[in-house]
Amino acid sequence: GVLEKLGAQDCFWENKGAYTGEISSLMLKDLGCQYVIVGHSERRKYFGESDEIINRKLKAVLKNRMKPVFCVGEETRDSLNGNGKQINEMGLIVGEQLEKGLIGISTERIREIIFAYEPIWAIGTGQACLPDDAMKARLFIRKILSKLYSRETAEKARIVYGGSIDSKNVSDYVKNAKMDGILVGGASINASEFNKIVEKIG
Local structure of residue 173 (DSSP, 8 states): I
* Active-site choice (49, 74, 89, 118): 118
Helix (H, G, I), strand (E, B) or coil at 160: strand
**pTM (whole model) above 0.95:** no
As a whole number, the mean pLDDT across the chain is 91
* Active-site choice (40, 49, 74, 89): 40
Residue type, 36: V
| pLDDT tens, position by position, 17-65 | 999 999 999 999 999 999 999 999 999 999 999 999 999 999 999 999 9
**H/E segment holding residue 194:** helix 191-201
The answer to whether residue 152 is catalytic is no
Tell me the backbone φ, ψ of residue 72, rounded to 5 degrees.
-140, 150
Residues listed for the chain = 202
CB atoms within 10 A of CB 183: 20
Helix (H, G, I), strand (E, B) or coil at 58: helix
CATH superfamily of 7-201: Aldolase class I (3.20.20.70)
Q: In sequence order, which ranges of 102-165 are alpha helices (DSSP H)?
A: 107-110, 131-148, 151-156
> Is there a contact between 67 and 61 (Cβ–Cβ < 8 Å)?
yes
| pLDDT tens, position by position, 152-181 | 999 999 999 998 899 999 999 998 889 999
